[in-house]
Structure 1
Amino acid sequence: MSGAADPVIRHGAAPLVLSLPHVGTAIPEDIETRLVSPWLARKDADWWIGELYAFAADLDATIVRAHWSRTVIDLNRDPTGVSLYPGQATTGLCPVETFDGEALYHQGEEPDAKEIEARIDTFYRPYHKALADEISRLRNLHERIVVYDCHSIRSAIPRLFAGKLPVFNLGTNSGASADPALMARVADIIAASGRSHVVDGRFKGGYITRHYGRPENGVHALQMELACRGYIREPMGAVTEADWPVAFDADFAAPTRGTLRAVLAACLDFAKG
């Protein structure tokens, strides 16, 4: 098992932590040689989310950004392998297929239980230790903080959900991961954007939101899942290596970035009381 690189961290002083667990595209050579296609292995990354949220540094937010691809290990899954969405199609802790159901590994090359355990030690735990350490550091400085988990996904993936996903998908673990006042304020902001939106719809928040959101301990967690069409010129329907991912266009992304800036400002206002 190749050695891991630590997640990239911006250490801020504001009571706000951004988690970017699916922006990584690195894959160790000993894993990549077993994959059907390097492109398929990176197809479901949260493309350009780091660029979209780059303004968070101006707010002095802490940013924890993954280095490794979600194909290596999915940092937003329960490490025990328990499904976060029972009864619905999803991908696992160490995915063996894409969101569209395409095989990621050559037959017989999928990771076994021993390898999955090794990947947890090598790739999963460093990210979560970094995230937990930053939460603890900031919690010692502030009475309450907000953990904001940043995600995106293609707008139409029939295997995962019917029709087109709303542009803004706010997840709060069905209201358990954050104070109702914070959730209501963020919901109002995305509603005011004029774009389609939902709270606790198909995506209620993954492991990070559910695990770290402890309002009773002053840690409030939200997940924002963005449909890609909200910030990039996404081709609708099936995508190919020839047209995915598309380039990031800051001008095209500007309206969504403006809404997200208002969301993070609201998170800071809440945390500061």
Structure 2
Amino acid sequence: MLETSAGPCPAFEVRAPTLQKVPIVFCSPHSGRAYPLSFLAASRLSAEAIRRSEDLFVDLLFDFVPSIGAPLQIARFPRAFLDVNREPYELDSRMFRDPLPPFVNSTSVRVAGGLGTIPRIVAEREEIYRGKLALDEALGRIEQIYKPFHESLEHLVRVTRERFGVAVLLDCHSMPSTVRAMPGGRRPDFVVGDRFGTSASDAVVGYAIRALAMLGYDVTRNKPYAGGYITERYGRPAAGVHVVQIEINRHLYADERRFEPGRNFSAVKHDMMRFAASFAAAIGDEFQQLAAAE
């Protein structure tokens, strides 16, 4: 449990339908906004600045998911506190008073950028902590929250694969409106990531892209976001497990300055319902045809 100003809060939550009807699992690992009191006390940032790493309200955009017969796993803890879209031990030695054990990956690009499993900075490159942390603090977050989060997600994917013969994990994120511009100044509405063709089949990725494009959105594939650790860890298309990362541009639905839903929030949420229904239907048809052909 997280000890927050509003009282104890579960670290994460699984919202499951009474009966799973589609071979899809949804996950929102970065939209948590339950800030532990001890974490806030250790931070040098203001209450607003510390929120700059949140995938604002992605959990709310997809809270309809159980109604279409799919489970939704959401983080309640904030990404600035713990990032489950990293390896379990991507830790920055500069952050800790104690020497790091040999199994730690302290040389990854993500660690170098300040965005390891225990992040050093928030999205606008501001340092989070007043001073150095005890290593036990980081290891405690990993043992008590990170590992249970992934055990739960792995269970959802495995049960889905066993029930339907295939599983598709949609890893749902948001990106800032100031996302790095592509050639010509293009800043897409959505980025669909599949680790450059390794985490999902072309058919599955194509269904996601077409379903979003048919709603009138500008969609790119793998640029500028191809997917993180969740796509790497779970994506095994040859074994019937496909993982697609979805990045939504926050300008579509949120007031980023005030950390509030924007005036178009309801419309975008409605579009996400249409997207999910269209995608689920396409996935169902695809794998029914494959099963019939075997």
TM-score by length of 2: 0.78
Could you tell me which amino acid in structure 2 is paired with residue 31 of structure 1? F
Distance 1:17 1:114 in 2: 33
Find 1:186's aligned residue among 169, 190, 208.
Answer: 208
User: CA, structure 1 residues 267+49, in 2 after alignment: closer, same or farther (shift >3 Å)?
Assistant: farther
Asked whether 1:115 is paired with 2:137, we answer yes
Alpha-carbon distance in 1 for matches of 2:270, 2:208: 18
SS in 1 for 2:42: coil
Flag the 1:38–1:272 CA change in 2: closer, same or farther, 3 A. Answer: farther
Aligned residue type for 1:226? I
CA deviations on 1:207-236 (whole Å, 9 max, x unpaired) are 111101111221111000111122x1546x
Match for residue 66 of structure 1? Answer: 75
Q: Distance in 1 between matches of 2:139 and 2:79?
A: 15
Residue 210 to residue 271, structure 1, CA distance change in 2 (3 Å): farther
Residue identity over aligned pairs, in percent, reads 25
Q: 1:180 to 1:84 in 2, by over 3 A?
A: farther
Which 5+ residue runs of structure 1 have no aligned equivalent?
Answer: none
Residue by residue over 1:175-208, the C-alpha shift from the partner in whole angstroms, topping out at 9 and shown as x without a partner, is 1111221112222233333322110111111111
Residue 153 of structure 1 is matched in structure 2 by 175
Tell me what 1:29 maps to. 37
Residue 279 of structure 2, aligned match among 244, 259, 263: 263
Work out which of the residue numbers 8, 12, 15 in structure 2 matches 1:10: 15
Q: Which residue of 2 aligns with 1:99?
A: 123
Provide the residue aligned with 1:212 in structure 2: 234
Checking the alignment, whether the CA contact within 8 Å between 1:146 and 1:268 is kept in structure 2 is no
Distance 2:269 2:24 in 1: 22
* Rg larger for: 2
The residue that corresponds to 2:267 in the other structure is: 251
1:47-88: CA deviation from partner (whole Å, max 9, x where unpaired): 121221123222110111112111110111122315876699
Q: Deviations over 1:122-162 (max 9, x none)?
A: 2211111110111122222121011110111211056x989
Q: Assess, with a 3 A threshold, how the Cα gap between structure 1 residues 256 and 64 changes in structure 2: closer, same or farther.
A: closer
**Partner residue of 1:124 out of 146, 151, 160:** 146
Q: Name whichever of 189-198 and 76-85 sits farther off.
A: 76-85
**What's the TM-score, normalizing by structure 1?**
0.84
* Bigger shift: residues 42-51 or 75-84: 75-84
Distance 1:176 1:135, change over 3 A: same
The runs of 5 or more residues in structure 2 that have no matched partner are 4-8, 91-104, 290-294
After superposition, the CA RMSD in angstroms is 2.9
Q: Which has the higher contact order (CA 8 A, sep 6+)?
A: 1
